[in-house]
Structure 1
Amino acid sequence: MQTKGINHLALVCRDMAETVAFYTQALGMPLVKTVALPDGGQHFFFDCGGGSLLAFFWWPDGPPAAPGIASVKDFPAEPRSAVGSMNHVAFDMDEDQLEASIARLQAAGVHVSVPIVVNHDDSPMGVAREMHEGVWVRSVYFRDPNGIMLEYAAILRGFRPDDVAHEPGRAREPAIA
């Protein structure tokens, strides 16, 4: 068995109309499918490029957001979220499009995290203030109206065997099924 990539990622929003406006207008993602659920909810799909979809569920009586548990509370100060949660969604983008994406976000009134462009490298901090040969991805982080952390990410080089250099961590206690 081999997958071909991500078909769709399904998230939950607090207001479908606000979510549709943000993703279609601020991010330019076409709304391609809408579904009315039998329980009064909705399930909408956006084309996020590369043959992948980003979907949202909405229920009029859905539970409230839980920052720091089900999502990032504050990036970059408090980037953790709970096991089984969704930390953030990164959209692939060419590096030469990053600056234009920032301008488009800011023109739409979207707050972009500081530093605006993050240079990810293999240093102990994992980021560099300046561009250098060791930077493997450059990112721009921002939030949607639901508080969901989003990222535009530009991979700068192919992955190499030495990019897998760490042993996986272990939980202090086994998971309970």
Structure 2
Amino acid sequence: MIKTKGINHIALVCRDMKETVRFYTEVLNMPLFKTVQLPDGGQHFFFDCGGGNAIAFFWWKDAPPSAPGIASVRKFPFDAKTAVGSMNHLAFDMEEAELEAALDRLAEAGVEHTHAVLNHDDSPRGYSPEMHEGVFVRSVYFTDPNGIMLEFAATTKQFGPEDVAHEPASAQEPA
């Protein structure tokens, strides 16, 4: 039987390693803890994002260009449909009490972001401007210098069987 302990790291591709290191270490305060020079001239750097988890980046001088609307979001956070097999966004777990400070820090650093905490709920719109008992996650969305959509997410409730209420859709049948 396979038994995992969680996510070790996620590996993404950046356009400029120096710019990426500055953003993740100085803006997001994620320490750089390992660097690798690849035999093909590329680099692979690892950042500590808390809780024993890491985010890593590859860089190659000749990497293909980004493809917004295909492999990354076109315009965050509400035109977020991406291609099958792509990474849509990366959410970092955060205490709810830290979300307002995160908004301030992103603004200070000049990072484009949602200018309010979004309250995700089960309403038809999927979020509420106000906090209420049906909110299950509160989020702040922003993008890094590579156009990767990131999220600070604070879970606000414990989930139970009632939270699994939808049949999975199939490409073979209408949703």
- Structure-2-length-normalised TM-score: 0.96
Task: Give the conservation status (yes or no) of the 8 Å contact 2:76–2:143.
Answer: no
Counterparts of residues 1-20 of structure 1 (less than 5 Å)? 1-20=2-21
- Tell me what 1:98 maps to: 99
Contiguous gaps of at least 5 residues in structure 1: none
Counterparts of residues 144-155 of structure 1 (less than 5 Å)? 144-155=144-155
Deviations 1:65-102 (A, max 9, x none): 00000011112331100000000000000000001111
Task: Give the conservation status (yes or no) of the 8 Å contact 2:33–2:46.
Answer: yes
Give 1:111 shift.
1.0
Task: Look up the equivalent residue of 1:53 and give its one-letter code.
Answer: A
Partner Cα separation in structure 2 for residue 91 and residue 18 of structure 1: 20
- Structure-1-length-normalised TM-score: 0.94
Counterparts of residues 48-127 of structure 1 (less than 5 Å)? 48-114=49-115, 116-127=116-127
Match status 1:136 vs 2:157: no
Task: Look up the equivalent residue of 1:24 and give its one-letter code.
Answer: T
For residue 32 of structure 1, give the secondary structure of its aligned residue in structure 2.
Answer: strand
Partner Cα separation in structure 1 for residue 133 and residue 32 of structure 2: 38
Give 1:107 shift.
0.7
Contiguous gaps of at least 5 residues in structure 2: none
Give 1:113 shift.
2.2
Give 1:136 shift.
0.6
For residue 25 of structure 1, give the secondary structure of its aligned residue in structure 2.
Answer: helix
- Tell me what 1:41 maps to: 42
Task: Look up the equivalent residue of 1:62 and give its one-letter code.
Answer: A
For residue 102 of structure 2, give the secondary structure of its aligned residue in structure 1.
Answer: helix
Partner Cα separation in structure 2 for residue 77 and residue 161 of structure 1: 28
Single out whichever of 20-29 and 155-164 deviates more from structure 2.
Answer: 155-164
Task: Look up the equivalent residue of 1:7 and give its one-letter code.
Answer: N
Task: Look up the equivalent residue of 2:161 and give its one-letter code.
Answer: P
Partner Cα separation in structure 2 for residue 71 and residue 158 of structure 1: 30
For residue 35 of structure 2, give the secondary structure of its aligned residue in structure 1.
Answer: strand
Runs in 1 of length 4+ with deviation above 6 angstroms?
none
Task: Look up the equivalent residue of 1:55 and give its one-letter code.
Answer: A
Q: CA RMSD in A?
A: 1.1
Partner Cα separation in structure 2 for residue 105 and residue 77 of structure 1: 19
Task: Look up the equivalent residue of 1:140 and give its one-letter code.
Answer: V
Give 1:171 shift.
1.4
Task: Look up the equivalent residue of 2:58 and give its one-letter code.
Answer: F
Give 1:124 shift.
1.4
